[in-house]
Amino acid sequence: MSGRDPNFDILFEPVKIGPVTARNRFYQVPHCNGMGDRHPRGMAAMRGVKAEGGWAVVSTEEVSIDHTTDFAPAIEGRLWDEGDIPYHARMVEAVHEHGALAAIELCHQGIACANLESREPPLAPSAQTLNVSSPLQAREMDKSDIRAVRDSHRASALLAKRAGYDIVYVYAGHDLSLAQHFLLTRYNQRRDEYGGSLENRVRLLRELIEDTKDAVGDSCAVAVRLAVDELLGADGIEAAGEAPDVIAMLAELPDLWDVNISDWPNDSQTARFAEEGYQDGYTAFVKSLTSKPVVGVGRYTSPDRMAAMVRKGTLDFIGAARPSIADPFLPKKIEEGRIEDIRECIGCNICVSGDMTNTRIRCTQNPTMGEEWRKGWHPERIPPAASGDAVLIVGGGPAGLECARALGQRGYPVTVAEAGDALGGRVRLESRLPGMASYMRVADYRLAAFQNLPNVETYLDSALSADDVIAYDAAHVVLATGATWRRDGVGKNQRLPLAIPESAPAIYTPDDIMAGAAPADGPVLVYDDDGYIMAGLIAEKLARDGRDVTFMMPHSVVSPWTEMTLEQYAIQRRLLEAGVTILSGRRLTALDGAVRHACVYTDAEAELAAAAVVLVTSRISNDGLWRGLQARAEAGDVPWRTLTRIGDALAPATVAHAVYAGHRYAREFDAPVPDGTPYKVERVNV
């Protein structure tokens, strides 16, 4: 049946978890998705696809247990009463349909929750400020509050059992859990039996486990998700400190241990700052302290690494959130011996940005993520061609490559004409910047797919003019010509071009630096009016090259949008460690010999000496070919029936947007979208 490598047989052994059994060792740990209880059909369809793809356990996101832990405005789960059971049952049914176990992560967020919707005063071990941005403070819980939380957790566990869940979590991780807050001395200054000694601080976690076992342990497994290190040294829980003692105290109480590092930016580090398996050194000790199965994470994408982790006894399950998002069929592809078909996670955390912006999940590598129900998109299946029409795609970057791959999978004849000497477009260049090598997986996955698609042809060094496109006589032309970084300073704060006289310092853009240009000798200013990752990458590269770099931006912090991808702190720290001088809250005003800039708050002006300035402000679409073809169309007959721009050629954005745009064109080609909203909308009946 299977052509898999026997070395990976160990990954497909069944594993018993208390009263239930997982069919293999692939475990999708709880992760946010931006759909939750607001878009339950979408959430259920997404989880169902994971089960179809071979994950033995498929878990929910955080699920609130009552009104004292209201997650708003975040879109997560809720299980407060019987009225919430139907949407959970929908997910359970979707997961069970494919033979997987369904797990639910019950959660009380404690001081990580402002209760903005319920308006209940937040709860904490001791009276204190919240650990999220809010002017509210939490009150110290008395014994009746603790009993109430235990009762709510027990009640939600019973509701979860009625909904059909196989595994019920007790959550103590990511600095987002009341049980974890009780564990930590920086939050817990109580003097009763719930504070002081470690045994006392563990008490609530123990009680929640015992309550859950008593309520549902006859048919449901009880899992504990615990952060074993916070990377805070003595200020937090440590793998070299109290964490082993916590595990030892509770070792045999739950049916499964799900362990990681905390908080969330540490647990979900981007590939720029952490390699595959980066948590191994922190979690490896757990298995030696318990006979119960252990699941751990580390953005595992290599089957060899996965099998090795199980073989050496570090883990019983290969846990994954992001790799299961990038490729829901990762287990099945390993099982069927199709490793080359795996769509590897690039560790960019665009998936996380959905949760941070309260929108549905998305993925750079997997453009179908989050679209399973509302658009009917499946990550492995796509409707066959509805005609024999040929498509010419101009541009071999992420949008063009995904468009060609998906059209080719449908069966259409496709030609890709790339002006450069290699395919990949922007990801080929950006992947050369510090820590960005994984981005090349975006191109590599699609180029590998072309080998099995004889109907897709690619041509390099093929810069097409309007005459060339017309001569090609294609019925459908897709322009995926990308975008270029602006050289005139126009960005989020500077809406009009800067005057750049001949006396100005040498001006560069990220395109110049990525192409190998070396700025003029002397101090270099990197000016960021973009706010995402590029300016930080350029500054880091130049600092590594030994340059004296100043980073200036109108924002208060470096790369502010990367707070949505959990890497802002790491980026700013990296630049400071590299010796980069950071000037915040400053905007460029002139480049006339010296660099003139002003405070964004007071307009107070100053000057800065710089031999070179790298402007990282915004990009502009490469639309010369589009304009030329439009002019020909207006002047007379043209051979094409459709002419379309996609990706950055239409509107510059993230790589994820470009891949999505390419995939969307391929999905909707020969399949016109009905008038109105081009996807199904979940509605509440009132």
302-333 per-residue burial string, b: 16 or more CB within 10 A, e: under 16: ebeebbebbeeebbbbbbbbbbbbbbbbbbbb
The backbone torsions φ and ψ at residue 171, rounded to the nearest 5 degrees and listed phi first, read -105, 130
Where are the alpha helices (H) located in 66-142, listed in sequence order? Answer: 85-96
604-608 contact pairs (CB < 8 A, 24+): 608/525, 608/550, 608/552, 608/583
What's the rounded Cα separation, in Å, for the pair 129 and 131? Answer: 7
Q: Could you check whether the bond before residue 135 is cis, i.e. omega within 30 degrees of 0?
A: no
Q: Any residues with CB less than 8 A from the CB of 684 and at least 6 apart, and which?
A: none
Q: What's the burial of 3, exposed, middle or buried (CB within 10 Å: 0-12/13-18/19+)?
A: exposed
Q: Any residues with CB less than 8 A from the CB of 17 and at least 6 apart, and which?
A: 57, 101, 167, 221, 223, 255, 256, 293
Catalytic residue among 174, 476, 597, 663: 174
Task: Give catalytic status of residue 108 as yes or no.
Answer: no
Q: Do 73 and 357 meet the contact criterion of CB atoms below 8 Å apart?
A: no
What's the rounded Cα separation, in Å, for the pair 30 and 85? Answer: 18
Alpha-carbon distance values, 415 to 445, 454, 460, 622, 629 (Å): 18, 11, 11, 20, 18
Output the six-digit token pair for 682: 């979940």
Coil, helix or strand for 232?
coil
Catalytic residue among 27, 165, 169, 171: 171
Catalytic residue among 166, 211, 258, 267: 267
Task: Give catalytic status of residue 166 as yes or no.
Answer: no
The backbone torsions φ and ψ at residue 161, rounded to the nearest 5 degrees and listed phi first, read -60, -45
What's the rounded Cα separation, in Å, for the pair 356 and 364? Answer: 16
The 8-class DSSP code of residue 504 comes to S
Among residues 276, 324, 357, 334, the alpha carbon closest in space to that of 562 is found at: 357
What's the rounded Cα separation, in Å, for the pair 680 and 676? Answer: 10
Q: Do 530 and 493 meet the contact criterion of CB atoms below 8 Å apart?
A: no
Radius of gyration of the chain (CA): 27
Q: How far apart are the first and last CA of the chain?
A: 50
**Beta strands 619-621 and 483-485: pairing type?**
antiparallel
Q: Do 416 and 457 meet the contact criterion of CB atoms below 8 Å apart?
A: yes
Task: Give catalytic status of residue 171 as yes or no.
Answer: yes
Reported as half-sphere exposure (CB side, CA atoms, 13 A), residue 481 has a value of 22
Among residues 175, 222, 215, 171, the alpha carbon closest in space to that of 61 is found at: 171
Catalytic residue among 31, 32, 194, 341: 32
Task: Give catalytic status of residue 32 as yes or no.
Answer: yes
Q: How many other C-beta atoms are found inside a 10 Å radius of the C-beta of residue 638?
A: 17
Q: Do 624 and 316 meet the contact criterion of CB atoms below 8 Å apart?
A: no
Catalytic residues: 32, 171, 174, 267
